[in-house]
Amino acid sequence: MPVVFPQGRLRAMSTDLAAKVEALESEVASLHSTLASQGLNSKHTTDLFGREFAVPVDAEHKSTSATFASLVLKCDVPHNRAFHSSWFGFFSSFFSTFAASPLMAYMEKPTSLNLMGSPGSIGTGNILSLAGNIVMRAVIGFVCDLIGPRKGLAFLLLVTSPGIFGMMFVTTPAAWIGCRAIIGFGLATFVTCQVWCSQMYNKSVVGIVNATSAGWGNLGGGVTNLVMPLIFLGMFSAVKGTPEEREDRAWRLCYIVPLCMHVGGAFFALTGRDLPDGNFKELESSGAKQKSRGGIVLRTGLTNVNAWILTATYGMCFGVELTMNSIAAKYFYNYHGLSPQTAGLLASLYGLMNLFARSLGGWISDVANKSYGMRGRLWACWLIQSIEGVFCILMGMATLGMDSPFGKGKVQGYTQIGKKWFPVNGTMVTGCGCTTKSPPLAFQELHGVGDEMRMVMEPPSPYGNGDACILHQNAVGITVFIMICFSLCVQAAEGLHYGIVPYVSRPALGIVSGMVGAGGNLGGVIALRAFFFAKAIRVDQGYIYLGIMVISITALMFLIYFPDKGGMLVPAGGLGSYDPQLIKPPSDYRGADSMDFAAVEGEKKKETSTAEGGAPISQA
């Protein structure tokens, strides 16, 4: 006979079972959460085509994990491949664009390109390596919205490779400037880097991811200052000829390294995926993605007030970094009398802070967002960038009271052997300045030295009148310390900016990213032309003027306002009906990375139903 339980006992058993099921579900959810925090896709979530993701994802299939293990130690398609392709491509373009700076001491000589004999050539080369990129960044942002950042990144790395190849064969200042301008277009990879990561990672972690990818890319500016002088020494020892011929050949051969990086980076990017669920073409064919409409994207991006403000303020952090990458090695060489290798090493410290400082800015942005929302992101960005301006001023003030090569005539050059100074016959240097050369054979024999490169400069008393010069004041230590503090704020401010940019306009994410990135290059061009062009002003005086400009323009951030999030001085809705998006996109326009999963599921059900009714799926 069947066992019959009283109704009360049945209800008790049902309640007890429900409680156990609820507790089990809670434990499972907790387990999934723990595994997700470690960067594991424990739910085995797949994309629209059944491919399982390597990391935990949200409802839009964007990665929600930014731990070291899940972000750095993995290179799986699509999320991690996009991250690593992005930063390496951007790193390569930074490396090649600023490779000339630590090699300038050899390029400028009369026995090579004679850049010093062509007034303004060095300054023009520095400026044009950044100026062309202003337009390119805006254009590539538009391209990212239309065909995706993956193809945009590969295109930029390949199209700038001829400029790198040309640097090995240039013979005139004009050709040198032209090649540098072409190479500089590659800095637009920054836009592809930020757009690709923004489309792959959830907004809860996009600040740290964008900051890390861009920071590691910016690291190329520091690494090139560090390693290019060392690569030069290797090439110099490998080639034959007179010392002058060997110098000229060696710096040209150095460009083989960035050329290989560009080509390799382009093909690495093409192994990735446009969006978490697939490439643009297959997603548009499936109905999950709208076809991008260029007119709407362009109009939406260009009519957003917040985008224009961030364009201006980003020029005061990224633009400052570009400026320092262009002038720092030459500054330590000319003003502090350091060898090209030592000057490059110290200048590299500025860019090497990107190893963690930009990520720190992204982390600060995400933390501020958790506690104070968008208003926290804005306040943090303004504060850090204003402190940046203060350190820039202090860097200039550290040496302003000392004599510099600015405005000085030529004097007899001396080189130091042991603790004594000896004149190098036939070598004149700028007062308080220096040059680097292999001394004449007679000098080598007289003093028992080899043909290695030596620093030649104006000496202190009793050999000369250089006592008050910066290069004899032991000012390197304090200058480098201030420069590092300055750099930390610059990189953090960059990360803080791109913790804000993804919120400005999702339908026009690419064009907004391009506009803001172009603002960075524009800031660099303005700073170089206004404060560091040719010999119009002392370099340390230029630092003071630059710092004042940074603080002033950063104050524009008080004007940024999001209707649903507020601004620095007003809460959400605090400005009534005002909307910084002056012209809105159509209500049904979603943007390049917004998927309609329901449409795909509906199509799958329709195909399944048709197939079950007897018709082949291919005919459904």
Name the least confident of 121-130, 496-505, 550-559. Answer: 121-130
pLDDT at residue 612 is higher than 60: no
Of 600 and 511, which is predicted with more confidence?
511
Is the entire prediction scored with pTM above 0.85? no
Is residue 421 domain-resident? yes
Contact (Cβ atoms closer than 8 angstroms) between residue 519 and residue 312 = yes
For residues 549 and 442, state if they share a domain: no
Tell whether 219 and 332 lie within a shared domain: yes
Q: What is the pLDDT of residues 186-215, one digit of tens each?
A: 999 988 998 899 899 988 888 888 888 988
Contact 277, 597 (CB under 8 A): no
Contact present, 314 and 516 (Cβ < 8 Å): yes
Domain assignment of residue 416, yes or no: yes
CA distance 355 to 351: 8
Amino acid, single-letter form, for residue 301:
G
Most confident range, picked from 127-136, 541-550, 584-593: 541-550
Give me the percent of the chain exceeding a pLDDT of 90. 51
> Considering just the CA atoms, what is the radius of gyration of the chain in Å?
29
How far apart are the C-alpha atoms of 102 and 222, rounded to whole Å? 10
Residue 614 has pLDDT above 50, yes or no: no
Describe the crossing of helices 340-352 and 206-238 by its angle, rounded to 10 degrees: 170
Indicate whether 251 and 218 sit together in one domain: yes
Res. 513: pLDDT tops 90 = no
Residues 497, 414, single domain; the answer is no
Distances (CA, A) of 572 to 371, 373, 468, 505: 15, 10, 57, 17
Residue 15 lies in a domain: no
Q: Are residues 354 and 433 in the same domain?
A: no
Range of the domain at 431: 410-469
Confirm whether 284 is domain-assigned.
Answer: yes
Closest alpha carbon to 180 in 273, 270, 97: 97
- Give the integer Cα–Cα distance in Å for 434 and 455: 7
**Do 170 and 262 sit in the same domain of this protein?**
yes
Residue-level pLDDT at 135: 84
Phi-psi region for residue 418, left (φ > 0), alpha (ψ -120 to 50) or beta? Answer: left
Q: Are residues 461 and 536 in the same domain?
A: no
Q: Examine the domain organization and report whether 322 and 364 are in the same domain.
A: yes
Does any domain span residue 69? no
**17 in any annotated domain:** no
Query: What is the pLDDT averaged over residues 529-554?
Result: 92
Q: How would residue 502 be classed by pLDDT, with cut points 50, 70 and 90?
A: confident
The answer to whether 188 and 136 have CB atoms below 8 angstroms apart is yes
Which pLDDT belongs to residue 382? 98
Q: Taking CA 220 as the corner, what is the angle to CA 215 and CA 221, rounded to the nearest 5 degrees?
A: 100
| The predicted structure's pLDDT at residue 167 | 95
The answer to whether residues 511 and 432 belong to one domain is no
Give the length of the chain. 620
Reported as a single tens digit per residue, the pLDDT across 298-346 is 899 899 999 999 999 999 998 999 899 889 988 999 999 999 889 988 9
Q: Do both 485 and 458 map to the same domain? A: no
Q: How far apart are CA 257 and CA 251, in angstroms?
A: 11
Q: Are residues 416 and 325 in the same domain?
A: no
Grade residue 141 by pLDDT with cuts at 50, 70 and 90: confident
pLDDT at position 580 over 70: yes
Computed over every residue of the chain, the mean pLDDT equals 88
H or E element in which residue 321 lies: helix 318-336
What is the dihedral sign for C-alpha 127, 495, 158, 593?
negative
Within a domain: 238: yes
pLDDT digits (tens, 9 = 90+) for 5-34: 566 666 777 777 777 777 777 777 777 677
Query: Is residue 57 assigned to a domain?
Result: no
Q: How many domains does the chain have?
A: 2
CATH number at residue 504: 1.20.1250.20
The structure tokens 């005919």 sit at 619
